Structure 1
């Protein structure tokens, strides 16, 4: 099992008060009313895919596990809460021995997920389960968003017929909103398919390959651009990548890089790549490629950066840009087009006299009506291709040898029957009675999982613009339960029952 407590990014971190005040006021209210041991179930889910994408890459579970594993109130936390003059001494004393005793089921990181299906199911005493809402949402929302954005960018880069499979490097540290966003964002970007990061803390923490060469200031600090290039080649003879746009790409940068490349070749070494960080990347890369080839440096790669995103990359590919690899920063690390995923955390069941009773949130907006009860998520495969996800009550059983009718949970007239299907249950146990029971995978294993997951879905679902909507359906029993509860709440006041 991964020793998450030893990861560098987690050292000396204490996150128990990473929560909103209303979590503590609700906890205190439950405690004050003697209801704090009531057991409940909450679901984490989102309602719509970000960036117009057809799916989301699940990420952030490792951070959730670390947070729950170390959840406790320190004396400093208690002193701060006392200073707010909102809580009784009895409640503050209760917090001294507080820890997480609940159960968590989650869809593993790197899985492709879809709107309205539970990414996590959290069960336990109400005060524990309410406290952790904000932190869990923060971890899952952020990393799932960045992993999904990264996947969109990586898929765009892979469309290049001139350089198939051209890699993407995450290099957004200086543009991230803060330190945690940069480190966790780099992790999420790697999970989404980036081959490496410029962020050394992320590299150390998650064993992500790191990449970096020089900035414009390196070039400017030398008497000439050629001097700067030669000095760098001397320092890093096996990994010489030269930044060629400090002064003039075609008149200065590329010619000087060619001179260095020739000298390295004569010495039995080779120039690895040049990087262009500004200007018309399509035009400059094509001209640079011709110049390098004419000089006999056909193996020298061209790396492009400069405010790239999936749309710009696809445009450059369409224009025949001669780019072998891409460095992407701001638009990836901030997910600038869609800066929030919008996962929510909703109560779906409560134990009364030892029996689980479903709970539902009702709204005038049909998309905000929750799916009640303790649930599971089943992925259905036909001929090894995912055809639908089915949200069902946790005790339901389905026989793959029998036909299964699926229907849209809102537009119920949309129906289809599948046969000879395979079932994969997506939610797996992470914590049982407060004990971590899940072996946390390494980031590179999660990254490989994403590649395998993508292959299971039709291209129409994966396309970046106006993707085909993947079916996420409710079981008949869950749908009936939902309609029954809605009918109950539609009754006139005083007649509910």
Structure 2
């Protein structure tokens, strides 16, 4: 299946109509989040790189035309105006890893109208999902207060691609590694893993399982200690570690029960055996809320592994985002729908210290002490520079995170800042609204 077919049907029918009507003048579409998910103080931009890959490689070929004709139950010839449609326009976007706020354009596309319309579904799919997961993962890093967080989400994400994305996005916001082998290899991440309860059960004896595992993996090992009785499992792990002369870099993993209380017990057993260098890892239904509770309780947990709740951003699994026409053929456009009105014109976001943002028109000058957030990343359908790297995205995230006030960073009841609107943009919005309403009254 061609990547051109990864779209919604109405993108096909609208693009076809635009081509038939000769409506091919430049159009600007803005992709933005309308309102924040619950319990979020900030959002993290992600998904730009696969979105740009899609735009750079998209071309409607004969097989695509045939597929469109087939689903529409129409002759191929009627869909042939779409043949060779490709993206030839410009993209300005917030770089991956940067923090952004609702109402601010995450990216803006300017291209001939059929092209700019046709790519809507793919862009929303990539940017919305990945930004939601990255924002969730970032909160886990904050909650861990300096302790490593690792990704164990592959088995529960909504598809293999989503699992790879979760691993990469975790790395962007500061995760220490992932259990996902393919993602670790593809993105140069640290591969991290322990063992399953089935492994211990298969041996029927914890000590035998731990010894066998250490023989197969002579480096630092992590033993899963809660298959039967956690305290006994820790004691057995302690015996095997001492027997094999292992300590540095090794760990025991807790995956069930009262993780805080069990961590205290495990630490006491390990320290009593002189294994003060053996760490305690915790997993099992954790996200930022569970991590924060454990950290605040003083639980002696050294590493947190997160899976399901983070990989699917369980408490906020989507972003209320939109991709809307804001200019066509040199004219500003806006939507007036109740609760979904949009601001007209191509835009820029100017950021000052402390995440003080102003949404302005593209041709406005930056206010003193601010810098533009959106960058031009495609021109004439081609990237303006090589793809951004994971390390660049991580550095961008860390720099923005350091600017956030404590009220924005907190896990419970954070206060998300609101972006201001420039005077020029506010005036244009009022003027365009008035013209639309006047035209509607004149045609009644």
Q: Return the TM-score normalized by structure 1.
A: 0.86
- How far 1:90 sits from its partner (Å)? 5.0
2:427 matched to which residue of 1?
480
- How far 1:135 sits from its partner (Å)? 0.4
Q: In 1, distance between residues paired with 2:358 and 2:248? A: 54
Q: In 1, distance between residues paired with 2:239 and 2:17? A: 74
Contact 1:219 1:225 in 2 (8 A): yes
Aligned with residue 73 of structure 1, among 44, 60, 73: 60
Which structure 2 residues correspond to residues 272-283 of structure 1 after superposition, within 5 A? 272-283=250-261
- SS of match in other structure, 1:347: strand
Which structure 2 residues correspond to residues 59-458 of structure 1 after superposition, within 5 A? 59-85=46-72, 89=76, 92-158=79-145, 165-251=146-232, 253-265=233-245, 270=248, 272-351=250-329, 356-365=330-339, 368-381=340-353, 385-386=354-355, 388-398=356-366, 400=368, 422-458=369-405
- SS of match in other structure, 1:105: strand
Q: In 2, distance between residues paired with 1:271 and 1:369? A: 55
What runs of 5+ residues in structure 2 fail to find an aligned partner?
Answer: none
Q: In 1, distance between residues paired with 2:418 and 2:267? A: 45
Contact 2:133 2:310 in 1 (8 A): yes
Please identify, of 89-98 and 165-174, the stretch whose mean Cα deviation from structure 2 is larger.
89-98
Please identify, of 234-243 and 121-130, the stretch whose mean Cα deviation from structure 2 is larger.
234-243
1:34 aligns with 2:34: no
Q: Return the TM-score normalized by structure 2.
A: 0.95
- How far 1:289 sits from its partner (Å)? 0.2
CA RMSD of aligned residues (A): 1.8
Go from structure 1 to structure 2 and tell me whether the alpha carbon gap of 1:29 and 1:451 turns closer, same or farther (over 3 Å shift).
same
2:409 matched to which residue of 1?
462
Deviations 1:69-123 (A, max 9, x none): 1101243322222223555655543433221101000010000000101110100
2:42 matched to which residue of 1?
55
1:9 matched to which residue of 2?
none
Contact 1:237 1:269 in 2 (8 A): no
- SS of match in other structure, 2:29: strand
Q: In 2, distance between residues paired with 1:489 and 1:33? A: 23
Q: In 2, distance between residues paired with 1:82 and 1:38? A: 26
Which has the larger share of helix? Answer: 2
1:6 matched to which residue of 2?
none
Q: In 1, distance between residues paired with 2:277 and 2:366? A: 56
- How far 1:223 sits from its partner (Å)? 4.1
Q: In 2, distance between residues paired with 1:369 and 1:123? A: 20
- SS of match in other structure, 1:52: coil
What runs of 5+ residues in structure 1 fail to find an aligned partner?
Answer: 1-12, 159-164, 401-421
Contact 2:351 2:357 in 1 (8 A): yes
- SS of match in other structure, 1:40: strand
Go from structure 1 to structure 2 and tell me whether the alpha carbon gap of 1:212 and 1:431 turns closer, same or farther (over 3 Å shift).
same
Q: In 2, distance between residues paired with 1:124 and 1:460? A: 40
Please identify, of 437-446 and 62-71, the stretch whose mean Cα deviation from structure 2 is larger.
437-446
Number of equivalenced pairs:
443
Contact 1:261 1:270 in 2 (8 A): no
Q: In 2, distance between residues paired with 1:372 and 1:284? A: 56
Go from structure 1 to structure 2 and tell me whether the alpha carbon gap of 1:80 and 1:363 turns closer, same or farther (over 3 Å shift).
closer
Q: In 1, distance between residues paired with 2:323 and 2:288? A: 30
Go from structure 1 to structure 2 and tell me whether the alpha carbon gap of 1:223 and 1:393 turns closer, same or farther (over 3 Å shift).
closer
Contact 2:144 2:291 in 1 (8 A): yes
- SS of match in other structure, 1:47: strand
